[in-house]
C-alpha cells in the first residue's frame, strides 16, 4: 500500500511538473482541430475544434466541414486528421496573440471527402502578409517527399509545415486561398510562442571567410524544412515538450547510411549553455552518428546527407553535437562541408562544447545558387589538423529556409508524378456518384411531366412533329428486341413503377463471368463497372455498387426510376437493374468506344478528325439541351466532362452519369442552392462562389469540354507552368490574345477550316463567361456548333482534292442547306432549334 501510495505521489509530482513545463509554451498557444466543433486529445495535447464556441479563433468564412471514415496515416493522428476544413473560397483564421515570435504549424492530410479529390486541389497560404505556400498540392508533395527518401524507413502519409516568424501586431491571420477553380483544405493548426533566444541574430556564413550574416528576423520568416535526429529514432512531439517539435530519422537522407555508425549514451548530458534549453530536447543528443570502420585511424571518406531544397533561397543549417565517447580533447577532429564548401574545419567537439556529454550546436548561413535544389551536408576527416583521431560526429540536423522579399513559397512542379492519371481513373465509365437524394423529387417531376405531355405523345403516334417538350420513352421500345426476356412491372401505371428490366443476380453473374476483374472497364465512387454480355449476346456496361457505397437502397430505386425514363439518342440508356441479395446493380447500354477523353489524349487510340470532334460536341450538346429543356424545370447534369461523354460503335456521343444531376429551379426561383459538386477543372466559378446551381453551370463545364476537344490536353495539368495548369484559364488567355491557334491539338494542323475554329472558339469563350447570365443556352450553343460543322464540311469538300492547305482560305458560301441563310452574326442570336432538330434524335414515347 505504501509503495503504491508513493507511486501515486510520484506520478502526481510528474504530472504537475509536466503541466508547469508545458505551461510556458502552452500559454498563448493555439492547437486547432480544423473542420470540427469538438476537441480531441492527440500526442497528449488537447486540440480545440475550430468551430467550437468560445475558442477565441475567428474564421472569415465557414468553408466546408469535411470528415472521412477512412484514414491511412499514423493512427495516433487519426482523431485530428479524419476531419478538415475545406475551402473553395478564400478563408482566413485570426488568432489574438501578444506580439512576439511564433511557431506556426499547418497539418495536411489528403482525406477523401465526397467529390473533393485532393489530387486536383491547389491552394496558397500566407500569414500576416508572409507568403508561406503557393500552388500547393498535398498528395503531390507527399509523393515527392517519399520519392526523395533515399532508402529510408519512413514514408509520409501526411505533411506538417512549420514556420517561425515575428508577429508585430496583436493578431496572427493565416490566410488560405484556393487556386482558381479548385479547393484547399487544412486539418490542424498550431500556434506556439518561441523563446527569442532560440536563434541568434548573427550567424556564420559558409564560405564567407569568417564573416557573419544577419538573420534579420524583423523582416524575415523561417520555414523548417528538415529536422533530423541523427543516429537515433524518431522523436515525437510529446517527447519534445518545449515546442512539440517532430524529429525525423536521418538515415533516409544519407547518401550511404553505412558510412555512419549509430552510437548512443543516456548518461547525464547537460546543455553547454544554460540559454540552450529550448534549442533541442536532450534526447537528440543521446544518440549520434560517427564514422564507421573505426578500426582504421585514418578515415578517408565523408558522412554525407543530401536534402532536397527549393532553389533561390538562403538556408540556415543548424548542427547539433554532443561528444559521447572521449573525455579529453584532440581525440576527434573533423571538417564540416555545406554544399561542397568548407563551413568549419578543425572541429574538436570536446574543446568547443567544453567537455564530454555537453549538448552544443552551431549555426551556418548558406546562400544556395538559383540552380541547385539539393543541400549537401558532409562531415569528414580534417587531415590538416594534427589530431590523434579523425573521426566525425553529428547528433542532430536542422535546415531552415529564410524568406525573401516576404516570400517563403516555391511553386512545385510535381513533375514526375502520376497525378495526371488520377483524374482519368476517377470515373471512367458510367459511374454514378453519391449525393442524389434529390432524385426523388426529380422522379416526381418526371411523373408530372409525363402526365402533362400525354397529349403531344398522342400526336407522336400520328407521326406529327413533336414540340421541344419533354419526350420520355419508357423501356418498351428500346428493349423490345430483347423479346420475351423482358418483364415489366405494371407498365400501364403512369410514371410510378414503369422500370427497366429486372435482372436476376444469377443473370448478372453469368453476364460478367462472376464479376471477373479482367472485365472491369471503370471504377467510380459508386463501385465497379464491368463489361458484360447478356444472354441474348448484347453487350452491356454493368455497374455494381460496392457494399460501402453511401448510396442507399431508396436512392438506388429512385435512380432507376428516373434513368429508365430519360430516353434520348444522346443520353446513355439504362437497360435494367438487379436488386437481389442486397445487391444494387445497374445495367446500361455498352458504349464500344469508351470515353471522349480517351480519344483526345492519354491513350494510343487514333485521334479524331476535326469533323468528328464537332459531331461529338454537337451530340453531347444535344443530350444536354434535352436535359435542360425537356421538362418544365429541366435537369442540370452537374458533372459535364469528357469522361462523362461516351461514344458508341459509330462514334455517336452520349451523355452519361446522372449521379449528380439535379432538377432545375422552379419558375419563381432562378437557381437551386446546393453544396458544390462536380469535377475540378470543369467547375463553374460562379457556382463555386455562390453555391447556386443553374443550367449555366453545365454550360460553363461544356465550354471547358469544347476547349479540351480543341486542345486535347487535361483540364488540370500540374506539370505545366503555372499559367497553363488550368486549361480554361490558359485557353481564355490565348483566345483574348488571338493566339489560340498556337495551343490547338497539333494533330489537327492544316486539317481544319480556320473560320470554323474561330467560330468554335467564340462559342467556347461565351460559355466561360464569368457570369452565368452572360453565357449562351445549350440551344444557342447547339445551333452555332451546327453552323461550325457546316463550315468545316464545306471546307473539306473544297479541299478534297487539294494537297496543300492555305491558312487564308476564303469562307465558302454554304450550300443548299436552309440553315445556311440563317447564319448568325453574333452569339446573342437565338437559333431556331426545332428547325435544326430534324434528326429525330429523340426517341418517341409509345
Query: Binders of ligand NAG: how many residues, by CB under 6 A?
Result: 42
Does position 217 bind ligand NAG by CB under 6 A? no
Distances (CA, A) of 248 to 153, 155, 273, 352: 10, 11, 25, 26
Minimal CA–CA distance to 124: which of 184, 50, 34? 184
According to DSSP, the β-strands at 358-367 and 393-394 are unpaired
Q: Which residues from 404-433 bind ligand NAG, rule CB under 6 A? A: 418-419, 421-422, 426
Interface stretch with ligand NAG, choices 51-59, 215-223, 468-476, 669-677 (CB under 6 A): 51-59
Phi and psi (nearest 5°) for 262? -80, 135
Least gap, CB of 96 to ligand NAG (angstroms)? 7
Minimal CA–CA distance to 63: which of 139, 121, 135, 127? 121
Does position 495 bind ligand NAG by CB under 6 A? no
Does position 302 bind ligand NAG by CB under 6 A? yes
Q: Could you give the CA distance from residue 470 to residue 492 in angstroms, rounded to a whole number?
A: 19
Sequence-ordered list of residues with C-beta below 8 angstroms from that of 681, at least 6 positions apart, any chain:
120, 181, 182, 423, 641, 704, 714, 715, 716, 726, 727, 728
Interface stretch with ligand NAG, choices 187-195, 197-205, 347-355, 624-632 (CB under 6 A): 197-205
Phi and psi (nearest 5°) for 710? -75, -40
Would you say 229 and 235 are in contact if contact means Cβ atoms under 8 Å apart? yes
Indicate which single residue of 363, 559, 686, 698 sits in contact with ligand NAG (rule: CB under 6 A): 363
Using N-to-C axis directions, what is the helix angle for 695-711 and 727-736, rounded to 10°?
A: 80
Least gap, CB of 195 to ligand NAG (angstroms)? 9
Does position 301 bind ligand NAG by CB under 6 A? yes
Annotated binding site: 543
**E strand residue ranges, 239-313:** 248-249, 260-264, 270-271, 287-291, 303-308
Q: Could you give the CA distance from residue 221 to residue 199 in angstroms, rounded to a whole number?
A: 12
Q: Which is nearer to ligand NAG, 340 or 808 (CB)?
A: 340
Indicate which single residue of 4, 5, 54, 416 sits in contact with ligand NAG (rule: CB under 6 A): 54
Does position 137 bind ligand NAG by CB under 6 A? no
Indicate which single residue of 39, 68, 92, 329 sits in contact with ligand NAG (rule: CB under 6 A): 92
Distances (CA, A) of 324 to 356, 646, 708: 6, 69, 63
Q: Identify any residues that bridge with 66 across adjacent strands, giving them in sequence order.
A: 84
Q: What are 480's three cell numbers? A: 423490345
Q: Which residues from 664-723 bind ligand NAG, rule CB under 6 A? A: none
Indicate which single residue of 156, 217, 376, 515 sits in contact with ligand NAG (rule: CB under 6 A): 376
Least gap, CB of 327 to ligand NAG (angstroms)? 4
Indicate which single residue of 24, 26, 28, 37 sits in contact with ligand NAG (rule: CB under 6 A): 37
Q: Could you give the CA distance from residue 700 to residue 680 in angstroms, rounded to a whole number?
A: 12
Indicate which single residue of 24, 157, 202, 691 sits in contact with ligand NAG (rule: CB under 6 A): 202
Does position 45 bind ligand NAG by CB under 6 A? no
**Three-class secondary structure of residue 203 per DSSP:** strand
Interface stretch with ligand NAG, choices 201-209, 660-668, 777-785, 790-798 (CB under 6 A): 201-209
Least gap, CB of 563 to ligand NAG (angstroms)? 25
Does position 384 bind ligand NAG by CB under 6 A? no
Q: Which is nearer to ligand NAG, 377 or 475 (CB)?
A: 377
Q: Could you give the CA distance from residue 688 to residue 285 in angstroms, rounded to a whole number?
A: 51
Q: Which single residue is written with the C-alpha cell 499514423?
A: 74
Indicate which single residue of 187, 224, 287, 339 sits in contact with ligand NAG (rule: CB under 6 A): 339
Indicate which single residue of 199, 247, 337, 414 sits in contact with ligand NAG (rule: CB under 6 A): 337
Q: Could you give the CA distance from residue 708 to residue 682 in angstroms, rounded to a whole number?
A: 10
Q: What are 553's three cell numbers? A: 437502397
Q: What are 633's three cell numbers? A: 424545370
Indicate which single residue of 72, 170, 294, 327 sits in contact with ligand NAG (rule: CB under 6 A): 327
Using N-to-C axis directions, what is the helix angle for 695-711 and 778-798, rounded to 10°?
A: 20
Catalytic residue among 363, 639, 657, 745: 639
Does position 346 bind ligand NAG by CB under 6 A? no
Does position 819 bind ligand NAG by CB under 6 A? no
Sequence-ordered list of residues with C-beta below 8 angstroms from that of 28, at least 6 positions apart, any chain:
97, 98, 191, 193
Exposed, middle or buried: residue 776 (CB in 10 Å: 0-12, 13-18, 19+)? buried
Q: Could you give the CA distance from residue 281 to residue 560 in angstroms, rounded to a whole number?
A: 62
Other C-beta atoms lying within 10 Å of the C-beta of residue 545: 21
Least gap, CB of 801 to ligand NAG (angstroms)? 48
Interface stretch with ligand NAG, choices 54-62, 79-87, 482-490, 549-557 (CB under 6 A): 54-62
Q: Which residues from 623-662 bind ligand NAG, rule CB under 6 A? A: none
Indicate which single residue of 35, 63, 139, 634 sits in contact with ligand NAG (rule: CB under 6 A): 139
Does position 200 bind ligand NAG by CB under 6 A? yes
Interface stretch with ligand NAG, choices 16-24, 239-247, 297-305, 795-803 (CB under 6 A): 297-305
Q: Which is nearer to ligand NAG, 273 or 719 (CB)?
A: 273
Q: Which residues from 163-182 bind ligand NAG, rule CB under 6 A? A: 173, 175
Does position 275 bind ligand NAG by CB under 6 A? yes
Does position 203 bind ligand NAG by CB under 6 A? yes
Does position 153 bind ligand NAG by CB under 6 A? yes
Does position 184 bind ligand NAG by CB under 6 A? no
Exposed, middle or buried: residue 604 (CB in 10 Å: 0-12, 13-18, 19+)? exposed
Least gap, CB of 531 to ligand NAG (angstroms)? 22
Does position 265 bind ligand NAG by CB under 6 A? yes
Annotated binding site for ATP: 543
Does position 157 bind ligand NAG by CB under 6 A? no
Q: Is 604 a catalytic residue?
A: no
Q: Could you give the CA distance from residue 167 to residue 175 in angstroms, rounded to a whole number?
A: 15
Q: Which is nearer to ligand NAG, 422 or 822 (CB)?
A: 422
Does position 378 bind ligand NAG by CB under 6 A? yes
Least gap, CB of 184 to ligand NAG (angstroms)? 13
Q: Which is nearer to ligand NAG, 172 or 542 (CB)?
A: 172
Sequence-ordered list of residues with C-beta below 8 angstroms from that of 103, at least 6 positions apart, any chain:
162, 163, 164, 190, 191, 192, 193, 194, 243
Displacement of CA 312 from its chain's centroid (Å): 27
Indicate which single residue of 212, 412, 424, 478 sits in contact with ligand NAG (rule: CB under 6 A): 212
Does position 373 bind ligand NAG by CB under 6 A? no
Does position 502 bind ligand NAG by CB under 6 A? no
Could you tell me where the DSSP H helices lie in 651-753?
685-690, 695-711, 727-736
Minimal CA–CA distance to 672: which of 682, 687, 657, 655? 687
Distances (CA, A) of 777 to 293, 588, 678, 780: 77, 29, 19, 5
Indicate which single residue of 45, 90, 241, 809 sits in contact with ligand NAG (rule: CB under 6 A): 90
Least gap, CB of 37 to ligand NAG (angstroms)? 4
Phi and psi (nearest 5°) for 73? -100, -160
Does position 61 bind ligand NAG by CB under 6 A? yes
Would you say 537 and 543 are in contact if contact means Cβ atoms under 8 Å apart? no
Q: Which is nearer to ligand NAG, 144 or 842 (CB)?
A: 144
Binding site for ligand NAG (CB under 6 A): 37, 54-56, 60-61, 90, 92, 117, 119, 139, 153, 173, 175, 197, 200, 202-204, 212, 265, 267, 273, 275, 300-302, 327, 337, 339-340, 357, 363, 372, 376, 378, 380, 418-419, 421-422, 426
Residues catalogued as catalytic: 639
Amino acid at each position: 500500500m505504501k509503495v503504491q501510495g508513493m507511486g501515486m505521489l510520484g506520478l502526481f509530482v510528474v504530472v504537475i511538473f509536466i503541466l508547469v513545463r508545458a505551461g510556458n509554451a502552452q500559454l498563448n498557444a493555439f492547437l486547432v482541430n480544423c473542420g470540427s466543433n469538438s476537441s480531441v486529445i492527440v500526442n497528449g495535447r488537447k486540440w480545440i475544434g475550430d468551430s467550437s464556441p468560445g475558442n477565441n479563433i475567428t474564421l472569415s468564412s465557414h468553408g466546408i466541414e469535411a470528415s472521412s471514415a477512412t484514414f491511412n496515416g499514423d493512427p495516433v493522428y487519426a482523431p485530428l486528421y479524419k476531419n478538415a476544413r475545406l475551402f473553395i473560397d478564400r478563408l482566413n483564421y485570426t488568432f489574438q496573440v501578444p506580439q512576439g515570435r511564433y511557431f506556426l504549424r499547418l497539418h495536411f492530410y489528403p482525406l477523401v471527402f465526397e467529390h473533393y479529390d485532393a489530387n486536383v486541389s491547389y491552394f496558397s497560404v500566407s500569414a500576416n502578409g508572409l507568403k508561406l505556400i503557393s500552388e500547393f498540392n498535398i498528395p503531390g508533395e507527399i509523393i515527392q517527399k517519399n520519392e526523395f527518401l533515399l532508402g529510408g524507413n519512413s514514408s509520409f502519409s501526411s505533411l506538417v509545415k512549420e514556420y517561425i516568424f515575428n508577429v508585430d501586431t496583436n493578431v496572427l491571420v493565416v490566410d488560405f486561398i484556393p487556386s482558381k477553380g479548385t479547393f484547399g483544405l487544412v486539418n490542424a493548426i498550431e500556434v506556439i510562442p518561441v523563446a527569442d533566444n532560440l536563434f541568434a541574430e548573427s550567424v556564420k556564413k559558409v564560405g564567407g571567410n569568417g564573416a557573419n550574416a544577419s538573420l534579420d528576423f524583423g523582416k524575415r520568416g523561417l520555414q523548417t524544412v528538415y529536422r533530423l535526429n541523427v543516429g537515433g529514432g524518431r522523436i515525437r512531439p510529446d517527447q519534445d515538450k518545449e515546442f512539440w517539435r517532430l524529429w525525423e530519422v536521418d538515415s533516409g537522407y544519407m547518401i550511404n547510411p553505412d558510412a555512419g555508425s549509430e552510437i548512443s549514451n543516456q548518461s547525464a548530458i547537460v546543455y553547454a549553455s544554460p540559454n540552450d534549453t529550448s534549442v533541442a530536447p536532450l534526447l537528440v543528443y543521446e544518440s549520434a552518428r560517427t564514422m564507421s570502420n573505426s578500426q582504421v585511424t585514418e578515415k578517408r571518406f565523408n558522412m554525407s546527407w543530401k536534402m532536397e531544397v527549393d532553389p533561390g533561397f538562403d538556408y540556415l543549417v543548424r548542427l547539433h553535437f554532443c561528444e559521447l565517447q572521449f573525455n579529453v580533447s584532440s581525440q576527434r577532429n573533423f571538417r564540416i562541408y555545406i554544399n561542397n564548401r568548407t563551413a568549419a574545419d578543425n572541429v574538436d567537439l570536446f574543446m568547443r562544447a567544453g567537455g564530454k556529454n555537453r549538448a552544443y550546436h552551431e549555426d551556418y548561413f548558406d546562400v544556395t545558387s538559383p540552380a541547385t535544389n539539393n543541400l549537401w551536408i558532409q562531415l569528414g576527416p580534417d587531415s590538416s589538423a594534427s589530431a590523434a583521431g579523425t573521426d566525425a560526429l553529428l547528433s542532430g540536423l536542422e535546415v531552415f529556409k529564410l524568406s525573401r522579399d516576404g516570400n517563403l513559397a516555391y511553386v512545385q512542379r510535381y513533375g514526375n508524378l502520376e497525378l495526371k492519371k488520377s483524374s482519368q481513373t476517377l470515373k471512367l465509365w458510367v459511374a454514378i456518384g453519391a449525393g442524389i437524394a434529390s432524385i426523388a423529387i426529380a422522379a416526381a417531376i418526371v411523373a408530372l411531366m409525363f402526365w402533362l405531355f400525354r397529349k403531344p405523345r398522342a400526336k407522336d403516334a400520328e407521326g406529327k412533329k413533336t414540340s421541344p417538350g419533354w419526350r420520355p420513352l419508357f423501356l418498351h421500345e428500346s428493349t423490345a428486341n430483347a423479346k420475351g426476356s423482358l418483364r415489366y412491372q405494371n407498365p400501364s401505371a403512369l410514371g410510378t413503377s414503369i422500370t427497366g428490366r429486372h435482372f436476376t443476380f444469377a443473370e448478372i453473374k453469368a453476364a460478367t463471368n462472376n464479376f471477373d476483374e479482367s472485365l472491369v472497364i471503370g471504377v467510380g465512387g459508386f463501385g465497379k463497372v464491368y463489361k458484360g454480355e447478356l444472354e441474348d449476346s448484347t453487350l452491356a456496361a454493368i455497374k455494381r455498387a460496392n457494399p460501402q457505397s453511401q448510396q442507399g437502397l431508396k436512392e438506388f430505386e429512385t435512380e432507376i426510376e428516373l434513368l429508365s425514363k430519360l430516353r434520348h439518342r444522346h443520353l446513355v440508356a439504362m437497360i435494367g437493374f438487379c436488386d437481389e441479395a442486397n445487391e444494387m446493380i445497374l445495367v446500361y447500354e455498352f458504349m464500344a468506344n469508351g470515353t471522349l477523353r480517351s480519344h483526345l489524349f492519354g491513350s494510343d487510340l487514333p485521334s479524331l478528325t476535326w469533323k468528328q470532334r464537332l459531331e461529338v460536341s454537337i451530340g453531347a450538346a444535344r443530350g444536354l439541351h434535352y436535359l435542360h429543356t425537356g421538362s418544365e424545370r429541366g435537369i442540370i447534369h452537374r458533372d459535364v466532362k469528357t469522361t462523362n461523354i461516351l461514344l458508341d460503335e459509330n462514334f455517336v456521343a452520349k451523355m452519361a452519369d446522372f449521379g449528380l444531376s439535379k432538377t432545375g429551379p422552379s419558375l419563381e426561383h432562378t437557381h437551386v442552392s446546393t453544396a458544390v459538386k462536380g469535377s475540378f477543372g470543369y467547375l463553374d466559378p460562379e457556382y463555386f462562389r455562390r453555391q447556386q446551381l443553374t443550367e449555366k453551370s453545365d454550360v460553363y463545364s461544356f465550354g471547358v469540354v469544347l476547349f479540351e476537344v480543341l486542345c486535347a490536353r487535361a483540364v488540370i495539368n500540374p506539370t505545366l507552368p503555372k499559367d497553363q495548369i488550368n486549361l480554361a484559364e490558359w485557353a481564355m488567355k490565348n483566345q483574348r490574345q488571338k493566339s489560340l491557334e498556337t495551343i490547338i491539338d497539333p494533330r489537327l494542323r492544316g486539317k481544319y477550316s480556320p473560320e470554323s475554329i474561330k467560330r468554335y472558339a467564340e462559342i467556347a469563350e461565351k460559355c466561360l463567361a464569368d457570369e452565368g447570365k452572360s453565357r449562351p443556352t445549350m440551344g444557342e450553343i447547339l445551333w452555332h456548333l451546327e453552323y461550325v460543322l457546316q463550315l468545316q464540311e464545306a471546307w473539306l469538300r473544297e479541299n478534297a482534292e487539294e494537297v496543300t492547305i492555305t491558312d487564308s482560305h476564303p469562307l465558302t458560301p454554304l450550300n443548299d442547306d436552309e440553315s445556311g441563310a440563317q447564319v448568325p452574326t453574333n452569339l446573342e442570336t437565338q437559333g431556331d432549334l426545332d428547325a435544326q432538330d430534324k434528326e429525330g434524335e429523340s426517341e418517341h414515347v409509345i
